[in-house]
Structure 1
Amino acid sequence: MIRRATNNNRLEPHEHTLDLLILTTHDIMAPSKMIQCRFFAQGSCRNGVSCSFVHERPTRSPEDPSDYRAKLPCKFFAQALCQNGGNCKFSHDEIISSPPAPSDSRAEVPCRFLLRPGGCQNGSCPYLHTIGGIKVDVSSNQNLEVDEEKEQERDDYFIRNLSGASIYFNEFGHVIKVSLPTDFSLASITGLAPGTTPAATVEILRGLGFDLDVNCIRIPGYAASSETKATVKVEDPLFAKKLSIRLKEQKSTLSATPIPIDMKGTNCRKVYISWHKASRSAWVNFGNGDIANRVAQKFNEGRYKCLGQFVRSSSATRSGSRSGSRHNPVAWTIILSDVPNHAALKDIEGAIIYPQDKPRHIELGAVSYPASEAEVSVEVRSHLEQHGPLENFYLRPTFEGKRVKAAAWFRDEDDARSACSLNNKPLSTLRDGKLTVTLVRSIKLKIFATVYYASKSRIDEQCKMWKEQHLVFHVYQDALHQYTTLKVEGNNAKDLANARRTLEEILDGVVLKDGENIVWDTALGSNGTAFMKLKSIAKELRVVVIRDRSMRQLRFYGPPEKVQQVVHQITDMLKEESSSSYEIDLESHQFSWAIHGGFKSVEHELGKNIAIFNVVSRKITINGTHQQYETALAIMDGKQAIHIRSISDDPSSTESDCPICFCEADTPIKTSCKHTYCLECFEECCKSAASTSKDEFQIKCQGDEGTCSTVFTLREVKDHVSSSVFETILKSTFEEYIQRHPQTFRYCPTPDCGYIYRCSTASNSKPPAYMCPNCFEPLCTSCHSRHGDYTCAEYKDIASGGYEALAKLKKELNIKDCPKCTTPMEKTEGCNHMTCAGCKAHICWVCMAVFDAGAACYAHMNKAHGGIGLGLERFMD
């Protein structure tokens, strides 16, 4: 080996020349230094500069121009695994001189979702999209999670989780099914041939021993899909699991996955996965210990970074007892760890910016593992799928940081929980490096966009605390920017629950109060001048004030410091607009008179916005003087003398008048039957439909004086009202349904629980065990009481006179209850001194007197009863 000393004191290899050979005493005394290190040639030497063997790239013979391999880079050398050294037929020089820039290796791995139902839904998918060698274009560039939110919003089948049950509504809002986890099963079947119909699926299931109706099966259409997926709903809580097990036992090409009912407002089907990126170590040598320690400190403080990544450094150490000699300046070494696996020597040299910090020599260690991020992700996904099928798997493209991160969505929450067992498990691909797997819980709230923007400053303040708690906050906007969906994710259930409560508190707004009094005036009940001025105040102050006529209050959204300013301006405005208010409740014949022209007569006499007619509540409100109120009553009392005419025939009536309040519509909406409503009136009409519907629930149009035959569908209602109002409508419909079916469903009797259960038939046998999934209280679903191991008949007997029989039986068996704690005690022999097994009280069996000690009890028996009682029979009463 020939080395030469350069002006900068670095040691560099000298090839194909004959220069003066300079040997140090250390070189002469170390004959092993003439021998090539075979471990270094393989990229796996762990001794660094302290190695006794040569760490030089051996010179290679001139390349054979006829050997095409000489121009191809050696992939094993790139992974520090080449064992051929200088005899390798593939090129090592190109990689040494110009290491390739980091690229996304996932582009070489085929996308596993491309051939699944619906294809790949990730427009920015980094994996290879080819079928039969032809590239498949994915046009969508939307984020995977945004697409998921939009898909869920678009595919609303009007199924809601209310009171611990899954409630199915038809297109008009009728409750058609109440499904509890105890009586329902839902399965997703994949692997069906393209074009498979529901009828064909029924035959397949019949061959497996399941006799189902074709209406139980739904097959969504996937025009671009290579297979068909079917969803099967069955009135059998064990069907989905039975089907899944049977298909596995028969080794079928089909697979069935039970689909759970999400009973809470949280979702726990997502997991985060991460693992350490491939890295290597580097030995950096200096001729001065102070310089070495200074560079180590700068790396540890982040002032020096390699390829933008934080690198850890050890303290400087001397290379050996002889290495401090003036003949060998390479005396101090620091070891850098977490160096990016694609880093080259020049990258480490470039990281050390200042010239006075430059090292003498750098050596790179082997890569921690050779697999690419994409290859590791394939194995990770394979391990996850052993716990259950996935809906999505997303590998995040990151070139910064020390860890590779991915997210997976399971179809079943239980599978996601099971997959957490992979946490801290070694992975062979990582050379026993460990995975981190964390269950992610999430909550979602959908609100008006205006409410979100008005509350954004308060939400942003909370986001800072959520970030410290490792909670992730997402905001999704709909296409029309009318609604905003807020989503919070995290792995700590308690922190997530607190975040939900905080969000709900913010989004509930602030009820405006002037001192202890709620800010409200009857003038705000109509769309008159007071309401218009209210809207102007809110617009001027850049806040949102929502009128709630049913609760007779105003809700404020905006900066807290503006609350009092808003209150003062609104109260001042209401003082100017103040007037007396009188309400007239209409009987059936009066309502018919009013809706057929009578109200218009009152309005014509008193003036617009003084008389207000609410069709839903069947009231006429007079905002004016007592004399005006008397005038309205006089018109109603003399209604026979008034010419009754249709409101539509009134020349003052216009198409823009709301059929609820008979005023010009505020924030107007037009229905499919061409009637125009105030948005707020329409919402109140829909919310009251459950209580006003005589027979079956329906939201009926009130246009054409209440004669319009249109019944609004849920889809039309959802297009016009806020999401909170829409959910309130569905909830009120459900509650009305439960009230009408007391023999089928009951509410849990635990205060504030709110969950329902299905009633069972009374029997003389012990009822099946049932525990409320919300409050965890045991309950009998037959007699709706808590009676433990007793049958319903036994409990009924005890509760309705059976106590007498019980007392008689206890007397026959010589059983008495402790007078202190009521624990039953049986006396079979011995004296009359008894000790309660429950409270340890000392008791006289004759008169049941209680004592703190046995001596006092014996003294009492001798004095009061003439002895301690050796004759048992005479003391039995």
Structure 2
Amino acid sequence: MFSVARTSSSRSSVTEDNFVPRQDRRIERHHRPPRYPEVCGLWLNGRCTKEYQCRFVHEDLDYDDPMKPPSVHRPAPRPPEVFLTTIHDHIKVRFGEGFEVQNIVTGFETPWIFIANVPVRVTEADITKLVKPFGQIVDIRLPTSKSDAPAMLVKVRMSTPLEASQARTALHGSKSFGAKISVRLGLNNSTGGAAMLRDNAVRIEWEAPGKIAYGGYSTLEDAQRAIAATRVPVGDHFVRGTIHSGLPVVGVVTVRFRTLPLDVDETAMEMLANPEDVMWERPNYTSLPRAISGIKRTLEEGAELLEFDILPPPYRDSKIRAWAHFASPADAKAARDRLSGRKPAFTGLTPVYARHVKTITYSLNLEKFGKVASDLYALRDSVGGRGQNSSNSISIIPRQAQGYVLVKLCGEELKELGQLKAELERLLTGEVIRKDGKVIWDNFFSQTAGIIFLEDLQRAHPRITIQKDVTRRMIRLFGPSDLRAVVRQEIIRKATQLLTQKVHVISLDGRLIGLFMSPDLMKLQQDLGPENVILDLWNRVLKIRGDSLAFDIAKDIVNKARQRHRGERSSQENGCPVCFDAPSLPVTLHCGHSWCRACLEGYFNAAIDQKFFPLTCLGDEARCSERIPLETARQVLPLNGFDAVVEAAFSAHIHTHPDEFHFCPSPDCPQVYRATADAAVLQCPSCLVRICTGCHSEEHVGLACAEADGGDGLFKEWMKEHDVKNCPSCQVPIERAEGCNHMTCTRCQTHICWVCMETFPGGEGIYGHMRSEHGSFGLGPIE
């Protein structure tokens, strides 16, 4: 082909709107050169529209080279390929070709809003009119069951999370339908739906009105028979009888009967326990309706009480129990503070106990429940035994007929519930293997030899499930705790053995990396062990794990490969872009380049560690810009391998966009949230912690962001003393232990001058900068 290079847009009739890339024109059809080789004068003046029909040259067009036959026809362009998935239970990600991240919806973003304190007379049409200004309404759900409560909770689904967020911001705390409404965003859960964290309820307990009687008996046996006879409900009460010592003395053996109904007299007492004699104490109080009215009145002081339910009798432990639901968590907390611990006259000066209770429920299918059942029951029992002052509890409710088990968490403090939830989710998501508090990992576990090692270990312990997380570089175990301990020790032993070995690096120059991949690499892996030989395609280096003898063996094989293959296959143009040989089990991409299937799989596996996306073809000496189709990756990779590349691409995107995304501040929590223009409070769908987006720390009620230090001041002092600085791009702390002042952030790959923290895209110009600005690379003066 031939054309005359010219870039002047004033002489071209082609605009940005109708411009068609030259490569796409060649795909459509071929064009012979014009009859005359001179440039068209009308085209130069922007007046010729004949394009390929013109007899003179238009410099913005491509023509076939008359000396070459037409190239092979390429297939028509494909429609864009899209892959949708959910990561870490809550994060919805859309990928394009080459595993390019096109869109992320974090677990903090939800289309659901929950409107509380809505008068029961309000209709669906009223709700539509209220919410419609903020976007498209997909669904409105009003309570289906009738209630005597004056207000209700309405669930509304908007078409996008952004619309839901805007509606929440505008409507929360506003006065609508004659009432002050409370609006909150839904909380995403692992089932893919949305649920509202139940944190606006107060559980109340106080003594039921009752009498105490002392019965006398002549023998201990008679007294014990009387106690046994009272272990059944008497009216609305469960009577409690105990041997009494001290005053009053009614018989040889005295029994104290508590929580007797107010209407029990000597005749009823004789029928119930048959004492020889009986003495009475005054009732604690006599009017239950008056006590209920007084408690409700106290709850309503300065708070919006939505519902107040008294649990029906019989009253165990002589306690009346009630639930109060408020318009907001703040109202619930204030009501709890007003009521708990008081000894009001309307309860006969007996104490009232109130707890601000939060609950969240999980639904586990029977298969998953079976894997964690023993540990789950152990966790329930341990939570129940953490002391009487703890309000935390776990309830396990089987629903075998429906094919699932409900697990309900209950806690008084939101942070405590979040910690309990984290304990449960660690159990459900597996035990992360650690040693001395540090996560155990080695790249060996992501390679073929490591995969085989873990598979053999799991076959030896079939009740244990081993799950490796290559993206987050950790291994998780599921199953009984005693068997987990055995498997954990085996993995720690292997990882410790690997970590004690030194890693040597050998550079593979030119085409040697491709020529070295097949027989030479296999021989070296046979000699040293596959876990000790790592080929890094991105950095074109060979990593050898072991002592100096292993390093010498590797250098010898590399040198022999270099001598043997010097100049070989240099003219082979249609070979695999990695090994340059004729493709074995070829996989041909849309660009026309064919790869060995094994080489393409190795390319994907290298991307997991290197995190360099999007993935493009390496044809034309890595100048080909064709992105590798996701369908091709599915065909080449096993399912877990494909998922590993997906998570690596997601992780790389998050780390290279530090201004847009932030990690939840809770330790071990994998969720990310999107930064907001103004400080807002978001609630994590995993650990329930509330996050201030202004300072990216936990919510600090009543404090400005600058006042909520959270220990950062001490950490900053430590950073100054230990030569630790924050990456200017992603803000992750970086420690410089040794080496020159050219630093590369391991998270976002930013190249940094350690002296002035200036950044250099791709590392270009950093050494010239250090020479001219600082006179040294950090390894001593430059000569």
If the TM-score is normalised by the length of the shorter chain, which range does it land in?
Answer: 0.3 to 0.5
Q: Higher RCO, 1 or 2 (CA under 8 Å, sep at least 6)? A: 2
User: TM-score, normalised on structure 1?
Assistant: 0.41
Larger Rg: 1
